[in-house]
Amino acid sequence: MATIGLNHYNLRAPRDLMESLKVFYCDVVGLKQGERPPFAFPGYWLYAGDAAVLHLTEARPGEARAAHAASTFDHAAFTCTGLAATQSRLEAMSIQFERAVVPATRCVQLFLQDPAGNGVELNFPDGEA
């Protein structure tokens, strides 16, 4: 077997939080809601271009997902364009973020959190620094 890329990641949450996550990833991160197979449970597939990179699924009532387990998840990173407009939009929406520049590549990174507290990294190419 050879791994050739990342297919998607999934966030599982109660209905209200799942809806908030959908709004965040569409309005803030810039993903687009797209086609999803007719599964027997609610959810969304959010796309970056032609790829469904984020799946949101509703947790069943009373479902417990190893809340006691330690997690090593830190963030999901997206390649983006429009640094100045993105920073202005985040500020207008009162979304806190930290800005960093990757040494050598000069890639600009914006770090923020989604409504569930998951880390999100937005990467902008050197030409936008």
The pTM (predicted TM-score) of the whole model is 0.88
Distance CA 46, CA 110 (A): 20
pLDDT tens, residue by residue, 63-100 = 656 555 567 788 999 999 999 999 999 999 999 999 99
Residues contacting residue 79 through CB under 8 Å, at least 6 positions apart: 123, 125
In which order are the strands placed within the sheet that holds 43-48? 9-13, 51-58, 43-48, 32-34
Q: Does residue 23 surpass a pLDDT of 90?
A: yes
Cα dist from 21 to 100, 115, 124, whole Å: 24, 6, 22
pLDDT band for position 42 (50/70/90)?
very high
